[in-house]
Amino acid sequence: MFMFSQLVAQGQFTVVKQPLGFIKVLQWIFAIFAFSTCGSYSGMFKMSVECKNRSESDLGIEVEFEYPFRLHQVYFDAPTCKGGNPERLFLVGDYSSSAEFFVTIGVFSFLYSMAALSVYCFILEKYRENNKGAQIDFVVTAIFAFMWLVSSCAWAKGLSDVKTNTDPEKVITLISACEEPDNRCREIYDPKVSGLNTSVAFGFINLILWVGNLWFVFKETGWLASFAGTYAPSQEKQPAPDSFGQGGYGQQDPYAGSQGGYQPDYSQQGGYNEDGGYNQGYEQQPTSYSNQM
């Protein structure tokens, strides 16, 4: 209990008010709604078969079915209106794969959202360290978004087939006694599938939440800053600082000639005279006062 209270005291619950944490709370809640409305469903419909011989009639045939909707295992007994024992009939279809897949994605989404919220609240610094946690979170979020798309579409198609094969008007066609014009077969009670319709709606709401959460997790990865940096001009010349304006790059090199380097002055006239001395081309000055005398 002390450790729990210490963790609560150290938690950063303000992240729940931010889009990153707030959407995770919504994902956690709607994941519960999605798998609970589908996984806890049980339905029933009712029919009546009125034979020409009233003593053989059955006016209250109840057929119950539930998750995971293996309808081919659901059976009921109907009178033959010909005497003898009633016939046992089975519904058509097995839609457990799409229903169980949908519920599984909902359960794992619930668990991951709860784990991610714990990370955001208690170890947010490690989550943002080197962006590794955010990058893993982005990949997992993208996978769940794709899984919600697939599972919701699959369960929507499966639910449509479930409603078709549990329609009493269609199930009546399976009863051989209803083929006789002297017998009267009718439906009494239709199954209520509003909860299953709600589960499909929650599935697509979860899809929207997980796709929308991709942007907020993507901003935590640091990839956005990397992509933005590639557009900066890398070869643009920057202006020189003011400190170099006077004696730096702004002045011409006094030692540089017109060709960019030191050029000797060949305009001076000089050479060797007849005495073998070197004439420098300019008038020599006396080196001392004694030479002038």
* DSSP per-residue codes, 242-267: GGGTTTSTTSPPTT--TTSS----TT
Give the per-residue pLDDT at 39.
Answer: 93
Give the per-residue pLDDT at 48.
Answer: 92
Question: Please, which residues have CB within 8 angstroms of residue 285's CB and are 6 or more apart in sequence?
Answer: none
Give the per-residue pLDDT at 11.
Answer: 52
| CA atoms of 276 and 288, how far apart (whole Å) | 24
Q: Give the residues of the chain that fall short of pLDDT 70.
A: 1-12, 224-293
Give the per-residue pLDDT at 259.
Answer: 45
Give the per-residue pLDDT at 153.
Answer: 97
Give the per-residue pLDDT at 224.
Answer: 64
pTM of the model: 0.70
Give the per-residue pLDDT at 3.
Answer: 43
pLDDT digits (tens, 9 = 90+) for 243-270: 444 444 444 444 444 444 444 544 444 4
Give the per-residue pLDDT at 12.
Answer: 63
Residue 67 is given by DSSP the state T
Tokens of 268: 């001076």
Q: Where along the chain do its domains lie?
A: 10-219
Give the per-residue pLDDT at 284.
Answer: 46
Give the per-residue pLDDT at 15.
Answer: 79
Q: Strands (DSSP E) along 56-108, which ranges? A: 58-66, 75-78, 87-90
